[in-house]
Amino acid sequence: MTEIDWRRMPPLTALRAFSATAREGGFSAAARALNVTHAAIAQQVRALEDHLATPLVWRDGKQLRLTPDGERLAKALTDGFGLIQTAAESLRQATAERPLTVTLPPAFASEWLMPRLARFWRRHPEIPLSLLPDHRIVDLREAGATLGIRFGDGTWPGVVSEFLTAAPQIVVGAPDLLGGRTGLSLQDMAKLPWVREGDWPEQMQLLESIGLDPAKLRFNEFPNEELALAAAREGLGLHLESEALIEDDLQSGGLVKIHEIRDASLGYHVVRLPGPMPEAARIFIDWLKSETAARK
């Protein structure tokens, strides 16, 4: 492939003006095609002639004709712009057909999104989704993801973050574990077993914030949030969880809320890379927001 010397390349606006002039047969028609003025087209073509040091058009009465050099350049531009347009349309089509890839915490995927996903597909069957559950904060570029859903305060480098929903953390327990109680003192909570996921150090900080000493608590540890939540449902221990993820458990009485930690800085956020956003991503974000607003 011939290396392109961009310093010697004529300005793109001048090339586009000349190509439109050659295709449309005159400055006025080219101006209408490009939605600019007649004078702007004429100025760009003259600038291109100066840049190339050769005439490209000449007037024959009221008609505008191309010189031999103009004919050569017009053909090359038609071929070149045609290839660019074909490649651009191919990319647009590929982007439209590619699934909307979303990274998100596994528990958010299983407990919040999946029960609602049928509603999204009923409304937008044309948008395929690819979900990448991961408890880590995943780099969107490395994962090839368009969007991410993250829990935190909304400040992550290199991404645009939009608030989705508050996520107060609550201490819950199964009715059998609580023995009919709906509230526990700190002393009572310290005496009972707990279940937790292994890779969440912030959980220990939250327990400290309400006056518990994690070093003195008895933990049954599980490798991920879904298993820890399942263990809590079975009465294996108290559990600290985002209230947004266990609304059904609380409503059915399968889990009982005994303490709440409200931190306005924490919540679920939708993140994306800076720059243009695909239409499918905008539709999905709007739907997520409508779902969180509906439960308020």
For residues 103 and 140, membership in a common domain is answered with yes
Q: Would you state the pLDDT for residue 168?
A: 82
| Within-domain flag for 1 | no
Which of these three, 44, 67, 96, is where a domain ends?
Answer: 96
For residues 156 and 274, membership in a common domain is answered with yes
Mean pLDDT of 120-144: 90
With beta carbons less than 8 A apart as the criterion, state whether 216 and 190 touch.
Answer: yes
How many structural domains comprise the chain? 3
**Chain-wide mean pLDDT for the chain?**
88
pLDDT beyond 70 at 50: yes
CB under 8 A, 24+ apart: contacts of 26-29: 26/63, 26/64, 27/64
Domain containing residue 82: CATH number: 1.10.10.10
For residues 67 and 207, membership in a common domain is answered with no
Position 90, amino acid: S
| Within-domain flag for 48 | yes
For residues 28 and 108, membership in a common domain is answered with no
Q: Would you state the pLDDT for residue 98?
A: 74
Task: Tell me the residue length of the chain.
Answer: 296
- First and final CA of the chain: distance in angstroms? 59
Position 115, amino acid: P
For residues 72 and 214, membership in a common domain is answered with no
Of all residues in the chain, the percent with pLDDT exceeding 70 is: 94
pLDDT beyond 90 at 199: no
Mean pLDDT of 41-49: 93
Which of these three, 96, 118, 152, is where a domain ends?
Answer: 96
At residue 118 the predicted structure's pLDDT band, cuts being 50, 70 and 90, is: very high
Q: Tens digit of pLDDT for each residue in 56-96? A: 999 877 788 999 999 999 999 999 888 888 887 777 666 65
For residues 70 and 116, membership in a common domain is answered with no
pLDDT beyond 90 at 187: yes
For residues 43 and 176, membership in a common domain is answered with no
Domain containing residue 222: CATH number: 3.40.190.10
Of all residues in the chain, the percent with pLDDT exceeding 90 is: 57
What is the DSSP-derived secondary structure letter of residue 280?
A: H
Q: Would you state the pLDDT for residue 295?
A: 60
For residues 108 and 26, membership in a common domain is answered with no
Q: Would you state the pLDDT for residue 200?
A: 64
For residues 103 and 182, membership in a common domain is answered with no
For residues 26 and 173, membership in a common domain is answered with no
pLDDT beyond 70 at 117: yes
Q: Would you state the pLDDT for residue 151?
A: 85
Find, among 182, 290, 171, the residue nearest to 238 by Cα.
171
Write down the pTM of the prediction.
0.60
pLDDT beyond 60 at 1: no
The boundaries of the domain holding residue 161 are 98-166+266-294
For residues 191 and 108, membership in a common domain is answered with no
| Within-domain flag for 198 | yes
Which of these three, 96, 123, 150, is where a domain ends?
Answer: 96
